[in-house]
Structure 1
Amino acid sequence: MTNTSVHSHTPHQEHHLHSSDFISDIVIGMSDGLTVPFALAAGLSGAVANSSLVVTAGIAEIVAGSIAMGLGGYLAGRTEADHYSSELRREINEVETVPEREKEEVREIFADMGLSPALQITIADELSKDKAKWVDFMMKYELGLDEPDPNRATKSALTIGLSYVVGGLIPLSPYFLISNPFDSLLYSCGITLICLFVFGYFKSKVTDQPPVAGAFKVMVIGALAAAAAFGVAKLIS
């Protein structure tokens, strides 16, 4: 009797992190957004008598910080796109003017992969028949460059800037509700340190680092920055 197995072969699934640029931008914006306004609010809490001053300075810092961070993200995105375009033009020119040298580079790439000399020659000859694919191959495997998203710079600027605003409003939120800056600081510390821990845990997860250790590291850095700012403001005042 033929026994039909109820267990079918489960296809192998590979789990890769998608939208890594987007996640990196959120990490950049949120980490600074949580830490810098938190340290500023803590420092001012040791020097002023009313929370409204902390709120005013905090909002001004968030606006300036989000614009500066967003602009930095935009410029980084544009630099990446410009670098890719420059290298692409150079590679197209080399394929046209020194094709034999480019074929030799293709053979060297496959030699490093362990392919036989005969296969190296065959693949290089086949690849050279389609210049567009040949250039794409050289960009990726010789230079290690992937074509960037044409909207990367704008997306990066918006993502980093908005993440900074969201992160910055968290430590500032108690100052909107409580007039005594020292009482506000206590609530701000509690809320922000929890958020820093959660953020650090998530950040470590997506970057494949030990999550608990990463969470504590991010939280301690934020706490030290705030404590330093508060201490300096107390000393000066």
Structure 2
Amino acid sequence: MPDQLEHSHDPDAIAQRLAQGPKANYLPDAVYGAIDGTVTTFAVVSGAIGADLSPRVVLILGMANLLADGFSMAAGNFTATKAAADQAAQLRDQELRHIRLDKDGETQEVREIFRAKGFAGEPLESLTRLITSRRDVWVDLMLAEEYGIGAASRSPVRAAGYTFLAFVVAGFVPLAPFLLAIPNAAMVAIVLTAFVFAAIGSIRSRWSARRWWACGLETLAIGMTAALVAYGVGALIARLV
């Protein structure tokens, strides 16, 4: 970690930052989409090259896969994110109903949560009274502690959009040399794709304690392994049929 503060601790800055609330994180959607887009498209290209198919066929198969699989991933992410949001809303209603029907029982749950964190005696009772005096705070605590649901709300549309955009942009790279009819397109595609894999991994390091080159090499190894498998399968099937 750099020896510097990532944000200001001035009282006004703290108040403004906390007033904005937690922000939804769409980085995993973009990283997952970019890696999967590059891996799957490059795998199709590698398989087609291994089968000694023409550049035209490589481009057709690659573009069809790029758009169809990108849409499929985005739709799947949209559905999963929406399901998580629906579940959070259902559990919030459930907790509100429990508080209404059995306030003492829910109060005891709050007490046990803080007891497990090491509080006891009067501090424990004071915390319990404070939390249960604000219903929204009470419900947020129960959602976080009982079900692991955070306060940040993720948009299904944005999650799907980040996934699709990253998938298409990164996945287009292996196809670009064939679309532009660059000489020795297969080799150029391999070099460009290797660079994309390494770049995606390196970008991940901004949100990780690991070195940028370690993240880059890990992603590069994953992508190239998938490409080698696809190339081998394509070459094998081409000999068998």
2:223 maps to: 222
Give the corresponding residue for 2:17.
Answer: none
- Distance in 1, matches of 2:88 and 2:234, equals 46
Residue equivalent to 1:136: 140
For 2:195, the equivalent position in structure 1 comes to 194
Residues 154-186 of structure 1 deviation map (CA, whole Å, 9 limit, x = unaligned): 111111011110111011111112377xx2110
- The amino acid that maps onto 2:194 is L
Q: 1:145, CA displacement in angstroms? A: 1.4
> Residue 6 of structure 1 aligns with which residue?
none
d(CA) in 2 for partners of 1:114 and 1:222? Answer: 46
Q: Secondary structure at the match of 1:35?
A: helix
Query: CA, structure 1 residues 91+215, in 2 after alignment: closer, same or farther (shift >3 Å)?
Result: same
Structure 1: where are the runs of 5+ without partners?
Answer: 1-9
Task: Report the CA distance shift for 1:68/1:108 in structure 2 as closer, same or farther (over 3 A).
Answer: same
Q: How do 1:110-149 and structure 2 match up within 5 A? A: 110-149=114-153
**Please, what TM-score do these two structures have when normalized by structure 1?**
0.85
* Cα contact 2:32–2:163 (8 A) shared by 1: yes
Q: Indicate which of 154, 157, 165 corresponds to 2:157.
A: 154
- Supply the distance in 2 between the matched residues of 1:97 and 1:199 (Cα, whole angstroms): 51
Q: 1:225 to 1:140 in 2, by over 3 A?
A: closer
Q: Which residue number corresponds to residue 71 of structure 2? A: 67
Taking structure 2 as the reference length, the TM-score comes to: 0.83
Q: Which residue of 2 aligns with 1:204?
A: 205
Q: Does 1:170 align with 2:173?
A: yes
Deviations 1:88-110 (A, max 9, x none): 11110111111111111111122
Shift of 1:217: 1.6
- Quote how far apart the aligned CAs of 1:234 are: 2.0
- Could you tell me which residue of structure 1 aligns to residue 4 of structure 2? none
CA contact (8 A) 2:41 2:62 kept: yes
Q: Provide the secondary structure at the position in 1 that maps to 2:26.
A: helix
The separation in 1 between residues aligned to 2:39 and 2:172, in whole angstroms, is 11
Between stretches 103-112 and 71-80, larger displacement belongs to 103-112
Equivalent residue for 1:184? 185
Q: Name structure 2 gaps, 5 residues minimum.
A: 1-6, 15-21
Taking the aligned partners of 1:118 and 1:66, their CA distance within structure 2 comes to 56
Change beyond 3 A, Cα 1:19–1:101: closer
After superposition, the Cα gap between the structure-2 partners of 1:223 and 1:128, relative to the gap in structure 1 and judged at 3 Å, is: closer
Determine which structure has more spread, i.e. the larger CA radius of gyration: 1
> In structure 2, do the counterparts of structure 1 residues 142 and 52 end up closer, same or farther at CA, with 3 Å as the change threshold?
same
SS of corresponding position for 1:94? helix
**CA offset at residue 231 of structure 1?**
2.2
Deviation at 1:50, TM superposition (A): 2.5
What is the CA distance between 1:11 and its match in structure 2?
A: 5.9
Deviation at 1:120, TM superposition (A): 1.6
State the AA in 2 paired with 1:157. Answer: A
2:24 touches 2:152 (CA, 8 Å); kept in 1?
Answer: no
C-alpha spacing 1:19/1:148, structure 2 compared with 1 (3 Å): closer
Distance 1:160 1:202, change over 3 A: same
- The aligned amino acid for 2:157 is T
On the 8 A contact 1:51/1:179 being kept in 2, the answer is no
Q: Secondary structure at the match of 1:65?
A: helix
